[in-house]
Amino acid sequence: MPLPLPLDGLAAVVTGAGRGLGRAEALELARLGASVVVNDFGQAGRDGSGQASAGPAEEVAAEIREAGGKAVAHTGDVADHEQARGLVGFAVETYGKLDVLVNNAGILRDRMVFSMSEDEWDSVVRVHLKGHFNTIRFASAHWRARSKEAGGPVYGRIVNTSSEAFLAGSAGQPNYAAAKGGIVGLTTSTALALAKYGVTANAICPRARTRMTSDVFAGFAEPAPGELDPLAPEHVAPLVGYLASPAARRVNGQVLVVHGGMVAVVERPRVAVQFDAPAGLFDFRDLDEAMSPYFAGRPRGETFAAAELLGLRRGTG
């Protein structure tokens, strides 16, 4: 008799699952035994342009079913509050409950900060950050109600998608970097709020070659025929499957960088140096004498050094 799969009996929602990372994640969750709601608004442009289409979500759901898994498609816009409510309700109606929420939907509208329009800022923050909040809002209410009914913790997993752009900056993507940083704050706050209900929340910073990152990795060599691309989304999906599973019950409020066979757990920010006022109250001269030599002695600033270390110029997830 075959052993049970890690996600047997669990119901999952994956947003932005019609292509790229979301597609790979939905396929992986289904492979591990989950019943999946494949959500994708289906617009053709990576900037959120084009007509919405059921095609991408339907195709991935059909692919899962053809492989023997369980999947249905949902084409709502998660950045719309009521459509996100409908997505969670659809999962509960279809599968009787929701156990796993993977937030992946996003768009790009790149511009330098001095040229960015209000709409370019609002649209990216809306899809990434508000889209994450919307689905979490209704999924968390579902888990809280189930926990109250059960009289104790229930099963819940949230996996959010941030980016190394929040860690090291991304000069041409102030909207994207800000949204991805906001997702980290949302994740850690959610992790604290929902732990007592049995729910964990973690964020991944993936590096993968997708429609959204085609220009970012344009200079990276393509794999030889028959070889797996080191930047393939399939390198990211197993971590999502693990975080969605019972095995990851002790992993909560974490930020993890993942790509090409590597997972790194990011530490919370730590104080690098502290300056104390000589008389209990700083004046300009005190601050200048204490801080200016310190920053003058740091080669080009640690932020830029980190960006170079990561090999980043723009967001990668």
Of residues 95, 155, 176, 197, which has the active-site annotation?
Answer: 176
Question: Is 180 a known active-site residue?
Answer: yes
Question: Is 163 a known active-site residue?
Answer: yes
Q: Is 181 exposed, middle or buried (0-12, 13-18, 19+ CB in 10 A)?
A: middle
Of residues 95, 130, 170, 180, which has the active-site annotation?
Answer: 180
Could you give the count of Cα atoms lying within 13 Å of 296 in the half-sphere of its Cβ? 6
Alpha-carbon dihedral of residues 295, 300, 302, 303, nearest 10 degrees?
120
Q: Which helix H or strand E contains 256, and what residues bound it? A: strand 255-259
Instruction: Report strand pairing: 156-161 vs 100-102.
Output: parallel
Q: Which helix H or strand E contains 146, and what residues bound it? A: helix 131-150
Cα 291 from Cα 286, distance rounded (Å): 8
Cα 11 from Cα 33, distance rounded (Å): 9
DSSP tally for the chain: helices H, then strands E: 10, 8
Buried b (16+ CB within 10 A) or exposed e, 64-73: beeeebbbbb
Per the CB < 8 A criterion, the answer to whether 27 and 12 are in contact is no
Q: Which two tokens stand for residue 162?
A: 């941030």
Of residues 35, 123, 147, 163, which has the active-site annotation?
Answer: 163
| Residues recognised as catalytic | 163, 176, 180
